[in-house]
Amino acid sequence: MSTAFVIDDLPLFPFRAGAQCRGRRAAVHGTQAGARVDNDRLCDLIEAVAIHQDRKAFSDLFRHFAPRLKAFGLRQGSDAATADELAQEAMLAVWRKAATFDRSRASATTWIFTIVRNKRIDMFRRQNRPEVTLDEAAEQVSDEAPADDQLRWADAGEVLREVLATLPKEQIVVLQKAFYEDKSHSVIAEELNLPLGTVKSRIRLGLARLRQALPEEQL
């Protein structure tokens, strides 16, 4: 894996990267194709915002993510101005919530996805978003080992993208509708003129494929 890659529209930064990252991703998957998004670099930028309120790092994050967040807004049917606004609001939330980012629990893109998802609920549905918590009330109930359950997803972005590329089109269509168009399973079933059970099984199959693709060592 080359260390001197230019990532999309991100300028190359003399970051401390790699060294303190666990470097699992590179070890597990050597298939770096072209100008891939580099998760370590994006994580560094988010942490620079969190620790140093680094506006330069924020601007880099903005240039990388805002156009994707705008595309996300457009996919769910917003007009260009509204999609732009969603992206701006989400990026503002990135600035404010950067300290909650934990690279050992989620990839940069996954974290950004959760930010824009919540902003969408806030802006368009005008509803509260009950968030999963880890706390002592929960501990009383759980006799399973706590905590590490999210680790293996943090580095999974590369694998997920590869598996996505191999999924049948009808599974992708269902997944995209579910994520981008703010629709529940039953609405998707109606729109695609499919039985609800078919939509459910396509999503189940899609997720099962993704799970299978994760290497055992990440478990």
Residues between 25 and 64 that touch another protein (CB under 8 A):
37, 55, 58-59, 62-63
Touching another protein, residues 138-197 (CB under 8 A) = 138, 140-147, 149-150, 153, 156-157, 160-161, 164, 175-176, 178-180, 182-185
Read off the tokens for 97.
């919530």
Residues 6+ apart with CB under 8 A from 35: 5, 6, 7, 8
Distance of CA 48 to the CA centre of its chain: 19
How many other CB atoms are found less than 10 A from the CB of residue 219?
8
- Residue whose token pair is 């269902």: 174
Residue 115 binding another protein, by CB under 8 A: no
Closest residue by Cα to residue 100 from 114, 88, 89: 114
Phi, psi of 198 (to 5 degrees): -70, -40
Residue 121 touches another protein, criterion: CB under 8 A = yes
User: Quick one: which of 102, 129, 168, 190 contacts another protein (CB under 8 A)?
Assistant: 129
Question: 167 is written with which tokens?
Answer: 């999924």
- Shortest spacing between CB 29 and another protein, in angstroms: 13
Q: How far is the CB of 193 from another protein (least distance, A)?
A: 18
The reply to whether 66 sits near another protein by the rule CB under 8 A is: yes
The piece of 10-18, 22-30, 78-86 that touches another protein (CB under 8 A) is 78-86
Q: Which residues lie closer than 8 Å to 49 by C-beta, 6 or more apart? A: 57, 58, 61, 94, 95, 98
DSSP-assigned letter for residue 145 = P
Contact between 82 and another protein by CB under 8 A: the answer reads no
19 or 143: CB nearest another protein:
143
Q: Which is nearer to another protein, 13 or 95 (CB)?
A: 95
- Site for another protein (CB under 8 A): which residue of 46, 70, 78, 171? 70
